[in-house]
Amino acid sequence: GENVEQHPSTLSVQEGDSAVIKCTYSDSASNYFPWYKQELGKGPQLIIDIRSNVGEKKDQRIAVTLNKTAKHFSLHITETQPEDSAVYFCAASIYNNNDMRFGAGTRLTVKP
Amino acid sequence: DADVTQTPRNRITKTGKRIMLECSQTKGHDRMYWYRQDPGLGLRLIYYSFDVKDINKGEISDGYSVSRQAQAKFSLSLESAIPNQTALYFCATSDLAGGTGELFFGEGSRLTVL
């Protein structure tokens, strides 16, 4: 089955700096790569996703890039703000398949 | 009100006890899931269901069972709880027809087994 690895496990940045979280996946059949943000005491919430027919997707301050050949994808957050502090999870699956595999999570802290 | 509601939010129990975690949703989604979250391990799928008659094992189903009583309700049972089932449990839903694959999570049920 799919195996997703995520790095780093913790990341601390200064407000206004950029943050990058990286994930690798093992199953070349995977074609859907979402990113979820989990705030303290809440369930994860989708913030951005990408399908394998594109290499990059952007939504305001967040972007995701995908390298299918190397089987890795990354989340980029620019101009970080304290409210970006949370745990971020990457995931991989075959689109609309039920067996989505998650990375171990990255705890991002943005220092004011 | 939350679209995906989990009860209880917190539960402390003893080894060997039977525990049920309940999930209800108002999103009208056909797919429902139970995930377990452990520090350093991310989210792992326990069971999922497409509709009332459909139950499927996930990555870590041993020691758990589920029941899909209605389209809106999906419960997770631990028949005889053990300490290594101490974790944060999440119910989630997604939409099959016209869905994007997005999972909608509840706020979690924290279970401690002593």
In Å, what is the CA distance from B31 to each residue of A78, B40, B92?
Answer: 34, 27, 8
β-bridge mates for residue B43, sequence order: B37
Q: Report which residue type is found at B68.
A: R
Quick: pLDDT tens for B14-40. Answer: 999 999 999 999 999 999 999 999 988
**3-state helix vs strand vs coil in chain B, percent to 5:** 5, 55, 45
| Element containing residue B88 per DSSP (H, E) | strand B87-94
> How far apart are the CA of A75 and the nearest CA of chain B, in angstroms?
17
Q: Which of A60, A56, A64, A61 is nearest to A78 (CA)?
A: A61
Percent of chain A with pLDDT over 70: 97
Residue of B41, B100, B106 with shortest CB distance to A43: B106
Residues of chain A contacting residue B74, judged by C-beta atoms under 8 Å apart: none
Residue of A43, A101, A105 with shortest CB distance to B108: A43
Residues of chain B contacting residue A95, judged by C-beta atoms under 8 Å apart: 101
pLDDT in tens, chain A (112 residues): 789 999 999 999 999 999 999 999 999 999 999 999 999 999 999 999 998 888 899 999 999 999 999 999 999 999 999 999 999 999 998 876 667 899 999 999 999 9
Residue A43 contacts B where some CB pair is shorter than 8 Å: yes
Res B100 pLDDT > 70: no
Count Cα neighbours of B96 within 13 Å in the Cβ-side half-sphere.
10
Quick: pLDDT tens for B49-88. Answer: 988 989 999 989 999 999 998 999 999 999 999 999 999 9
Quick: pLDDT tens for A74-100. Answer: 999 999 999 999 999 999 988 766 678
